[in-house]
Structures are given as C-alpha cells and as structure tokens.
A and B are shown apart, each in its own frame.
Chain A
Amino acid sequence: MSSIQPIPRNGLLWLLIAQVLVILPHLSHLPLWIIGLWIGCAVWRIQIFRMRARYPRAWAKALLMLGAAFGVYLSRGSLVGLDAGVVLLIAAFILKLVEMRSRRDALVLVFLGFFAVVTSYLFNDSLLAGVYSLAPVTALLAAMIGLQQSAAGTHPWPTLRTAGSLLLQAIPLMLVLFVLFPRLGPLWSLPQPKDRGVTGLADSMSPGDIAELSRSSELAFRASFEGPIPDRDQLYWRAVTFERFDGRRWSQSFLSQVPQAPEWLPRGAPVGYSVVMQPSGRPWLYALDVAQLEAGDARLMADFHLERPRAVDKPLLYRATSWSQALREPNAGPAVLGRALELPSEGNVRSRAWAVDLRRQHQTAEATVQALLRHFNQQPYSYTLRPPPVGENIVDGFLFDTKSGFCIHYAGAMTFVLRAAGIPARVVAGYQGGEVNPTGNYLTVRQLDAHAWVEYWDTASGWVSVDPTFQVAPERIEQGLEAALATEQDLIENALLDLRRYRDVGWLNDLRFGWDSLNYGWQRWVLNYQGERQLELLSGLFGKADPRKLGLLMIAIAALLTALLAVLLLKPWRRERDPQLRQFHRFERLLARHGIAREPGEGARDFAQRAAERLPAAAGPILVFARLYEQARYAGQAASRAELRAALGKVRRQLPWRTSTAKSRSGIGRDVP
C-alpha cells in the first residue's frame, strides 16, 4: 500500500471508546498516575484530530516512554514480572494513541488492546469479567472495521453493528474450538499476578486471626455432593492442623508436612463430592475426614490434611471421597504422639494443675475428654467474637477468668489441657458448615465459616475429633456463625451491596442463590475446563478421547460449521437473481442440447450467429432473441422479461425436442456474455 493512510474518523472514535473499555477493568490494579497519563493523552489526541495540537516530536515521544518506564519502576519496583508488565502494556497502549498517525499505527493499537484484554483475565476471571470483556472486544473490532471504511460520511452505529454480527457469527465456532481444542499443560512457568488480596487460613494462628476471618463474607469454596448433602454437624472441612504452641500462637509443625500418608482404615459409608476452591495462596485443599483424591498432584500429609506442591493461586476444582468413620492411626508412633504432647516449658500453671487433677479423676482418655466437654457445657462459658482481654497466660485467663471467647479459644484451651493431662491432642483448623444453595443443591463456604476444633488420640480408636465450641454454642455448628452471634451482627462485614444483607427478602434471596449458582457453574464448567477435566468430560460423550482424536473432531466440526455459515451468508440459491441472465442461460442450455456450446468469452451476438448458421431452421428466432438480450443488457433498453421469454419460446418451438446430445460443457452458465 502506498504512503501513509490516514485514520478515518469512525476508526478513531471506536478506538477511543475501545481504549476506555479496555482500561476500565485494569483500574483496580493500576497505579494512579496511569490514569493521569491516560486523560492527558486522550485530550492530546482529540486536539490533534481537531488540528489544535501537533503530533509529539521524537524527543517528546522518547521522554514520555522513559517517563512511563520510570513510573512503572517506581510503583512496581521492577520492570519485569507480570504486574510491571501489565502496567507497561497499558502505558504503551495509552502512549501509542498520541503517536498514532497511520492506519498501521492504529492496528498496532488494536492488537495491544487485545493483549490488554487477555491480561485483564489473569487478574479477574469471574463470569462478570468474562461477559464484560465482550464490550472492549466488540469495540476493538469496530475500530478495525472503521479503519477500513471510507473516510467520510459513515456513522458509527453501522460499524458497531457489523462488528457485533461478526462476533455473533463467530460464537458457535468459538464454542466448538473451546470445547474440543486439546488442552496442554503449561509450556513454561510464568509469573502469576500478585495483586490478589487473598484472605484465608494461615499456617499459624492467634485468636485474633480467626476473629478477623469471621468478619469476612468472602467465598472460601463451594462443594457439590454426589448424594444428599450431609448434616451440618458432619461438615468439618479440614485445612491444616496446629501442633505447636508457644504460649500465644498455635502453628503448624514442620514434621506434619511430610508427604507420607498415615495409616488409616476406611469404615462406614463413603461420601463423594467435588470442590471448587477459591485461590488461597496456600497449598492446602479443604476436605472432610478422611479424604482420598481421585486425581491431581495433591497428597495426604502425615496429619491427614491434603496438600499440593504449589499454592492454590487460581480457582481449583478437585474431586474427593471421604470416609467420616475411618479409623485413623490406631498405631501412631512415638514421634507423632510426642509432637501431640508438647507444651511450652512454663506458663498457665493453673490450667496445668487442673488438667492433672481432671486426669486423676477419670479412668480413660475418653472419659477425661467428656468431662472437659461437660465442663464447657455446664459452666457459664459464652461464645463471642469480642472476648475481653486476657493476661500473660492466655489459657488460664480464658479458662478461669473471662470464660468467653470463640472457637480458637476453646480448641486451644482444650488441647492445652488434654496435653497437660497426658492425652495426645492437636488443633485442627478449617471450615465448618456452609450455606446450602437450594438452586444448585451445593454448599457455599465462606471465610466466616472458618473454624477450629480438636482431635485427640486414644489407643483403641486412634484420632477422634471433638468440638468444644459445640458445647458452648451449638447454634454455631447447627446454624452457622451469624445465628450464634445474633447480637454481634455488626462485626460481620456486610457491604451494603452484599445481597446476604437482604437475606430476609425472599425474592432477593432467591436471586442471590441463583447468581451464586451461576458463578459456581462458571467456575466448574468454564474456568476449570482444563487438561484432565476436558478429557474426562469428553470421554463421557465420545468414548475414549485423546488429544489427537479431539483435534481431528474439532477440525471436522469447525469445517462443518464454517460451511453452514458460508451457505447462510452467501445464499447460493439466490445467485442468479438476474432474470435476463437466467433467460440467456436457458437459451445457452437449449442450444447446447443441439450441439452448439458457447465458447468462453464468446459474445452473445457471435454465439447466436454461429448457432443460426448451424441451425438454419431456427435462425430467425435465435437472432431475435440475441438482439433482444443485447438490447436489454447493454443498450439499457429494458426489454421486459416476458418479451425475452416469448422470444426464447419461439426458438424452442423451432427446434426438434431433444435432451442432451452434446455433453454440456462445464462452466456453461457461469460467465456473463
């Protein structure tokens, strides 16, 4: 193409709109100065278009580029990595707008825009974000179309309509590709976005941490069961165990992170379920006791929690089967039990004395545990997220003075007392309960369902889970945190827009459940449609599926769809709409049956003359028809269709009736004489 092609107004307009739409979802993780840069550049560009400003000179461009890079370095601390890369990409996307002169520059901008949309998915891949991204993509396509249109006199709306119809027609094909394109594992590892504010359980916990979690109604995970959803008091989701206590905090023991499955015996009825967990930034998976995973790289660790090699940094789907009655580690070794008996060397003297006393009164470990639970039940203990401050010895202070706290206080104190009484015990942290979504028949577990309970070890029964909180606030277990804290509602963070706030309004609540269910489906069917899941799903449909077979199937179906679309778009049945031409083609076919085929490129008159010489009987009508046709076609005299047809009829009557003599040449009836 020659020299510089200017940018049509329509193209520029859609490019500006597309830029706004592309950058909007990035705003949450962009430094503020980018917005300033953006506004400045957009104004500059518009002024250039109105011929009130110049294009930036070379030094100004260089300065802007350097400035942007420096700004990225200042606000992100480096120029590499995903976060810095995205800011750089957006900065380039903004700066290119000012510098853009020709169609080619504008196309570069459009491609940068597509990349920016892709990176926005790395930060947010929710259903809303996915649906929203159709807007910038449509606008970018409209900009591409606008760039091809004639400079003047075009309205922006038809351009958008064309872009929309292109997208709509592409969607069926896209779905085929999406479902059937063989998914590969990552080719090489890339930096992940760090910007996600992840809330969730940590590898060590003081009471304050759980209280903090309990205020968040953020989603932790969702679970679907193969059978009916078990009762709430069965739903103890283990994430991690805390075995070390330093007097203030409970934390994970290094030794329990050995990826060596402990000995256990499945008993009772298994429960099958699948979980989609939100990114937690931790490697643990949440499961009911004792779980076995069907696939994936996660392993059962020495303390019965599931862990995978990498942290969960994007929504993860897994299937598990749990045996809640399983017998766990009846023959635990001294190392394991030793860890479950460790106590700080000093502190909490009153608790230790009380523990020794308690143990002496009861024969068995089980009886001691029951006595302890009874104690929590009968004494005036209360459940609150706002416990009064305790002194240096937190266990003593809680057990004997304040007598109020929440799960981690009860679980921590109980473990301490059991250990002091010589019974191996540890704190289990995870989630308890969840909200049943009646729309999709699955369970939604939020951060506020975070919970801590206790498991102790006994020779006969191995590890046994008990929940002291149940003794104090059974409604916490049976109905959930919000029911247990009816008077402390203000503690739970409920944004005004959070639909949970309006739970009592029936239709709104249904809406909330429906929306949540939609998002869950999105996660399960779209976001987690990767590798194994794809093969598993497609195997169900087509029998054994392997990537090669999928590829072939994909190409076949895509070709079929394209052919279908081609037929719909090009309407071959309407090709010969030209009535004169149709008559002429009939004339041609008629003569071809008598052995006279039109040569390619032979004009109507020459053809007719040749035919007239060969068929003298019909010479007159043939020439009449040819003249009429020529007049209609080239002299602009609209011979009526009836006239032409009548002339053709005369030709036909003059000729003996015959079907095919001369093999009618291919290509007849194609070119226009």
Chain B
Amino acid sequence: MRVLPRIRDHWLLKRIPPGPSVRLDQRRIFIMPTAVGMTYILALLLMLIAAINYQNSLAYALTFLLGSVFIVAILHTWRNLAGLVLQAGGSEPVFLDEQARLRVRLESRGRLYQSVSVGWPKSGLQQADVPAAGACELELSLPTERRGWLRPGRLRVESRFPLGILVAWSWVDLQLSTLVYPRPLEGDLPQAGGRDEEGDEGTRVHGAGIDDYQGLRPWQPGDSRKRLNWKAYSRGQGLLVKDFTALAGHDPLLDFDMLDGDIESRLSLLCYWVVELSARQQPFALRISGVSLDASVGVEHRSRCLRELALFGQQPEGQR
C-alpha cells in the first residue's frame, strides 16, 4: 500500500538531498500541465479542427501560435523556479494547538521570480514574488498536532507563472523543525509542592494565583484567556492580562511525579505553571523523570523547562 510513496521519498532523497539551503536546479524541478493546461490543449484541438474544416490559413496560424506559446510557456514556467535558492529560517516554539510558524527565505541570485508558492499541501501554499537579486521571507503556518519536535517534512515549491497552464514544482527538505510545547491547562497544584514540608502558608502556591492583583502586562503565549483584560482591549490598548503575584516564601517545585492523571494532562498543568510563574517573575524548580532543574527565573529558564516538558518521553534526537 505504502510502497509507492516510500519509493518516491527514497528517490527524492537521492535527487534533492536535505539541507538548510537548497538551490533549485534542472534536476530538481518537475513540470506538468495543469487542468487549465489540458483545457487549453483541448481548445487548441477544437481550433485545429475548425481550421481544417474551413481550410482557413489564419485559423491554422493562430492554432500553431498558441501551440507554440504552450511550448515556450514550458520553458518560462520552468525558468520561474530554476536557480531559486530556498533557505531555512528560524522559528519560535509554540504551544500545542497554536499555529506553528516556520520561516523560509527565498533568494534570487538573478532575475525576478513571480508568483512562487511555498508550503505544505495540507495547510495551503503561500505565494510570493522574489525580487531580482533579492530575497523575501515567508512565514508558513502549520497546525500543531502533538507536542515535541514538529518536522513537517518536504516542502512543496511550485509556480504556475506565467500562464497557469503548466505547473513547475519541487519538493525540498530544508530540515525545518520547530518545538511544540504542551498545551497549558489551568489547574491547581497539589499542596505538598514545597521543598520543605513545614506546612507553612508561604510554601503554598495557590492554584489560581489570584492572591494579589499587581497590574496589567502585555499578553504572551501561554497566558490564560480568562485573565485577559477585555476592557482594555476594546479601548484599543492591545491584549493585556491581569497580573497577580502569589505569596511565596519558598521557590515552588513543579514535580511531575507529584501529579495525578495521565501524562499529557500532567504536562499541560506543569506547562501552565511554568508560564504562569515565569510571568510573575517568580523563581521555580522543575523535576521531571530524572531531570531536575534548579530554581531559577528568566526567559532561558522558562524555555529550558518548556523544552523538557515538550520532549518528555520522546526519543532523544540528534544535536538539533
């Protein structure tokens, strides 16, 4: 059943090896007539029949002219990809259920490339013009389906320019990837989260974290929707969230093993709290199946923690 795609993938791997930068040259571009092109050929056949039946030289001439245009269009369509360089751009990690955004840079080392589409067929292609001897950057969005590394695989590059009767395409593997964090889910942490079990009030981290209203701060991915300040938004001040500080005497420990429920919901809860505590600038520690990160605060700490959550239980991948 799946033999054909595998053969194709193998063949593509040899023909267009993966790499962060791929230049489309003659061996990497495929070309076929589109449905419009088939209609065009059909129309030409009808014209030819009219020319033959009416013995009309001008009708012959027009048919041949349009037929020649078809052949010239093969060259032009093909040329509209040939020599184009695709480079992988960076990407920001996203939370599950958000759209992953991967950047691709299209670079022309010569002529202008018009209407080049790039993307994955299942999520739609994006069109762009690449200026002569210039470059343009596309941000491709892709739905996320599970946490961990998102590797969308080969990217389709196609162009129907100039006439739309032919499509030239290529499948390039820019080794694009992005990290998908678990979906943050609001919830209470179990009481015994502290490092010392003294039962002191200050060690408790309150579930909703609504102890002390601190003010408004800009929204960032992972913030709870419930805490959005809609009034401010309607005044045009942008997305703001109400910020709270929980009382905490000691730095809280987020411990995977202390939680109940299935793995994903535990990860989601931890994810929520990593985001939440980072937003409050509150140091916290994370322990998850043998990895433990000491209490700290800051962007780097946050992303290390989220990364651990995202990659929990997955095969360790190469350096990337």
The reply to whether the CB of B320 lies closer than 8 angstroms to some CB of chain A is no
List residues of chain A with CB within 8 A of the CB of B252. none
A196 CB to closest chain B CB (Å) equals 14
B38 CB to closest chain A CB (Å) equals 12
A170 touches B57 (CB 8 A): no
Q: Tell me, in angstroms, the Cα distance from A64 to B57 when the chains sit together.
A: 35
Partner of A166, one of B53, B62, B67, B73: B73
Partner of B65, one of A137, A149, A184, A187: A137
B71 touches A173 (CB 8 A): yes
- Residues in B79-125 with C-beta less than 8 Å from chain A: 79, 82-83, 109-110, 114-115, 124
List residues of chain B with CB within 8 A of the CB of A577. 109-110
List residues of chain A with CB within 8 A of the CB of B18. 601
List residues of chain B with CB within 8 A of the CB of A178. 57, 60-61, 64
B58 touches A148 (CB 8 A): no
A118 touches B62 (CB 8 A): yes
B44 CB to closest chain A CB (Å) equals 9
B164 touches A121 (CB 8 A): no
With known contacts A115-B43, A137-B65, A184-B52, A107–B36 Cβ distance under 8 A: yes
- Residues in B178-197 with C-beta less than 8 Å from chain A: none
A633 touches B43 (CB 8 A): no
A148 touches B55 (CB 8 A): no
The reply to whether the CB of A526 lies closer than 8 angstroms to some CB of chain B is yes
B108 CB to closest chain A CB (Å) equals 11
A122 touches B56 (CB 8 A): yes
B163 touches A148 (CB 8 A): yes
Partner of A570, one of B19, B36, B64, B79: B79
The reply to whether the CB of A117 lies closer than 8 angstroms to some CB of chain B is yes
B66 touches A114 (CB 8 A): yes
A121 touches B114 (CB 8 A): no
The reply to whether the CB of A273 lies closer than 8 angstroms to some CB of chain B is no
B303 CB to closest chain A CB (Å) equals 23
List residues of chain B with CB within 8 A of the CB of A41. none
The reply to whether the CB of B17 lies closer than 8 angstroms to some CB of chain A is yes
Q: Tell me, in angstroms, the Cα distance from A92 to B160 when the chains sit together.
A: 27
- Nearest A residue to B60 by beta-carbon distance? A178
With known contacts A118-B47, A188-B53, A578-B109, A181–B69 Cβ distance under 8 A: no
Q: Which 6 A-B pairs have the closest CB atoms?
A: A601-B17, A170-B68, A173-B68, A177-B64, A121-B58, A174-B65
Chain A interface residues (CB < 8 Å from chain B): 2, 103-104, 107, 111, 114-115, 117-118, 121-122, 125, 129-130, 133, 137, 141, 144-145, 147-150, 162-163, 166-167, 169-171, 173-174, 177-178, 181, 183-190, 192, 314, 526-531, 558, 562, 565-566, 569-570, 574-575, 577-578, 581, 600-601, 603, 633-634, 670-673
Chain B interface residues (CB < 8 Å from chain A): 13-14, 16-23, 25, 27, 36, 39-40, 43, 46-47, 49-69, 71-73, 75-76, 78-79, 82-83, 109-110, 114-115, 124, 127-129, 160-165
- 23 A–B pairs (Cβ distance < 8 Å), ordered by A: A107-B39, A111-B39, A114-B47, A121-B62, A133-B62, A137-B65, A148-B115, A149-B114, A149-B115, A166-B163, A174-B67, A178-B60, A181-B64, A187-B52, A531-B55, A565-B75, A566-B75, A569-B79, A570-B78, A570-B79, A570-B82, A600-B17, A601-B19
Given contacts A130-B58, A170-B71, A173-B68, list 12 more A-B pairs with CB under 8 A. A118-B50, A148-B164, A149-B115, A170-B65, A170-B69, A173-B64, A174-B68, A178-B64, A529-B57, A570-B82, A601-B18, A670-B25
